[in-house]
Chain A
Amino acid sequence: MTIHGLWVISKAGGLVFSRSYSDTLPPQPVNTILTLAGILHGIHAITAKLTPAQIPGVPVGGLESFEAEGWGGKVFLTPTGTKFVLLHSLPQAGLDELLRRVYEIYSDAVMKNPFHTPEMPINSSLFESKLQTLIGGVNAA
C-alpha cells in the first residue's frame, strides 16, 4: 500500500493542511486542492442525506471512502468535525489504524501547541516530521 497524500479539512470546510507523499498522483496547485477539499466537505453532507436504509445500531454518516480505478480516498471524521482525508493506492488494508495514528499525532503536535489557532492552516514542523516518519514507514513497507 502506498499513501499518496493527506489533507486535513477544518469543520468549516477549509483546507488547513495538505501534503503529498508519493508522485503517483500529479502535483496540484494549492488552490485546486483547496477547491476540492471544499467540494468534499459538501459531498460529505449530501451523502448522509441519501441513505436508503438505516442499518440498526449504525449511526447515519456521510462519505467514508471513495474509489477510482487505481487509487482511492478514505475520510475520517473526528467528533469535533475535523476531517482527515488519506489518498491511497488500492487494495488497502489497515487504513483505519493509520488514520487513528494520524489523529493522535494531530492531537499531540497541533492541538497541544499553544501557538496554534484553531481552524487556521497548520504550520508545525513537528507535525510534519512526525507524519513523514509515520507515512514514510508505511510507504516503504
Chain B
Amino acid sequence: MTIYSLYIFDRHCECVYYQDWHRTQPIRAPPAISNKPGVHRIPPPLQPNEAGAPTRESIFSETNRSSLLSNGTIDGGANRTNKLPKGLPFDEESKLVYGVILSLRNMVKKLSGREEAFTSYSTSSYKLHLFETPTNYKFVLLSDPSSDSLRFVLRQLYVGPFVECVVRNPLVKLDSRAEGIDNDQFRAAVDRHMKGLSMFSS
C-alpha cells in the first residue's frame, strides 16, 4: 500500500496544490512562463548555462570547433536534451488529471441520470480517488491499485489541515487565479497526516 501524490483543484479548474511521496516516474517543473507560484515544490530545471552546455558561444571557439570536427555534430544540443529529466511537465500533467476526472464525472452523471458523484478509478498501476467539497474544491489522491477507498483520507485532509492552515490563514489568497495555496504549515500538516496513515509505508 502506497500513496503517490495529492492534487487540489479549485473551482476555476486550476491546480492550487500538489505534493508527492513515493513517485518513481518523474515529473518536471513547468516552463517558467506557465509556472504558477505556491502550488508545488518541484525544483526548477537547471538553466542551460548552469548545466554546462554552452548556449551562445561562438562557433569559432576552441571547444566547439573540436567537437564539430570530432563528431560532425553539435555536441551542446545533444547534451542539453540528455540532461532534461523525463516525464510530463507539471502544468500539463495537472491539466490531464483534471480533464480525466471531469470527463469521468460527467459520464457518471449522465449514465446514472442524477447527481451522483464519481469516486475513484483504477488502472493496473495506480488508483485515483476523488473527493469534492461543496465549494467545488476537488481533492485528488493517487495510491496503489490494491488500496480500498481513500476518500475518508481526503475528507480528513479537508476538515483538518485545509480548513486550519488554508481557509483560516489570512495570508493565503483563496480563489486568486494567480497563485496556489501552498504554505509551510499546510505542507507539513498534510505530510504528517499522510505519514501517519497505516497504508502510507509500502
State whether these chains interact: yes
A7–chain B nearest beta-carbon distance, Å:
11
Whether A63 and B23, one on each chain, are in contact in the complex, defined by CB atoms closer than 8 angstroms, is no
Chain A residue numbers with a CB within 8 Å of B126 are 50-53
B61–chain A nearest beta-carbon distance, Å:
41
Whether B110 and A58, one on each chain, are in contact in the complex, defined by CB atoms closer than 8 angstroms, is no
User: Known contacts being A43-B100, A46-B96, is A65 close to B121, with CB within 8 Å?
Assistant: yes
Whether B118 and A68, one on each chain, are in contact in the complex, defined by CB atoms closer than 8 angstroms, is yes
User: Known contacts being A36-B110, A39-B103, A43-B104, is A67 close to B119, with CB within 8 Å?
Assistant: yes
Chain B residue numbers with a CB within 8 Å of A70 are 112, 116
B4, B113, B124 — which one has the most chain A CB atoms within 10 A of its CB? B124
The interface size of chain A toward B, counting residues with CB under 8 Å, comes to 34
Whether A68 and B121, one on each chain, are in contact in the complex, defined by CB atoms closer than 8 angstroms, is no
Whether B125 and A58, one on each chain, are in contact in the complex, defined by CB atoms closer than 8 angstroms, is yes
Q: Which of A26, A46, A55, A60 contacts B99 (CB 8 A)?
A: A46
A18–chain B nearest beta-carbon distance, Å:
12
Chain A residue numbers with a CB within 8 Å of B111 are 25, 28, 36, 87
B138–chain A nearest beta-carbon distance, Å:
15
Mask: chain A, 7-47; 1 = CB below 8 Å from B; 0 = not: 00000000000000000011010001000100110110011
Whether A60 and B125, one on each chain, are in contact in the complex, defined by CB atoms closer than 8 angstroms, is yes
A54-B24, A58-B125 given; name 7 further pairs at CB < 8 Å.
A39-B107, A43-B104, A50-B97, A52-B25, A65-B122, A66-B104, A70-B112
22 examples of A-B residue contacts, CB within 8 angstroms: A28-B110, A46-B96, A46-B99, A47-B100, A50-B96, A50-B97, A50-B128, A51-B126, A52-B20, A52-B23, A53-B24, A53-B125, A54-B24, A55-B125, A55-B144, A63-B121, A64-B121, A66-B108, A66-B121, A68-B112, A68-B118, A87-B111
Chain B residue numbers with a CB within 8 Å of A67 are 118-121, 149
Whether A69 and B119, one on each chain, are in contact in the complex, defined by CB atoms closer than 8 angstroms, is yes
- The B101-141 residues at the A interface (CB cut-off 8 A) are 103-104, 107-108, 110-113, 116-126, 128
Whether B125 and A40, one on each chain, are in contact in the complex, defined by CB atoms closer than 8 angstroms, is no
Indicate the size class of the contact surface on chain B: 35 or more
- A59 to B145 CA separation, bound complex (whole angstroms): 13
> Main SS of the interface on chain B?
mixed
User: A49 near B: Cβ within 8 Å?
Assistant: yes
Q: Which of A36, A61, A65, A87 contacts B125 (CB 8 A)?
A: A61
Q: Which of B96, B103, B112, B116 contacts A49 (CB 8 A)?
A: B96
Whether A64 and B116, one on each chain, are in contact in the complex, defined by CB atoms closer than 8 angstroms, is no
- The B136-169 residues at the A interface (CB cut-off 8 A) are 142, 144-145, 149
Chain B residue numbers with a CB within 8 Å of A60 are 123-125
Whether B100 and A46, one on each chain, are in contact in the complex, defined by CB atoms closer than 8 angstroms, is yes
Q: Which of A25, A52, A55, A58 contacts B112 (CB 8 A)?
A: A25
Mask: chain B, 159-194; 1 = CB below 8 Å from A; 0 = not: 000000000000000000000000000000000000
Chain B residue numbers with a CB within 8 Å of A42 are 103
User: B22 near A: Cβ within 8 Å?
Assistant: yes
